[in-house]
Amino acid sequence: MNLPHPDQMPPDDRLSEVGSILATAIRRLREKQKMEKILVDNLPTKCPYGRKTTKGERQ
């Protein structure tokens, strides 16, 4: 896509372009966070059922 130099764009078009770039960045950041999310509730110390011992008993 051949866009004009920003100095030659009307202010509304420049603002729209900046908004589009920011929206894309935020969308990508949220997707990345979803993929890297670690569920803290599943950690053994946070498990509501307790931790299993070596003998299979719950503490």
pLDDT of residue 7: 87
Q: State pLDDT tens for residues 2-59.
A: 778 888 999 999 999 999 999 999 999 998 888 776 555 555 555 556 665 566 555 5
Kindly report the pTM of this predicted structure. 0.52
Q: Three-class SS string for 2-57?
A: CCCCHHHCCHHHHHHHHHHHHHHHHHHHHHHHHHHCCCHHHCHHHCCCCCECCCCC
pLDDT of residue 34: 81
Domain boundaries, the chain: 11-59
- At 11, list the tokens: 């202010």
- At 36, list the tokens: 């890297």
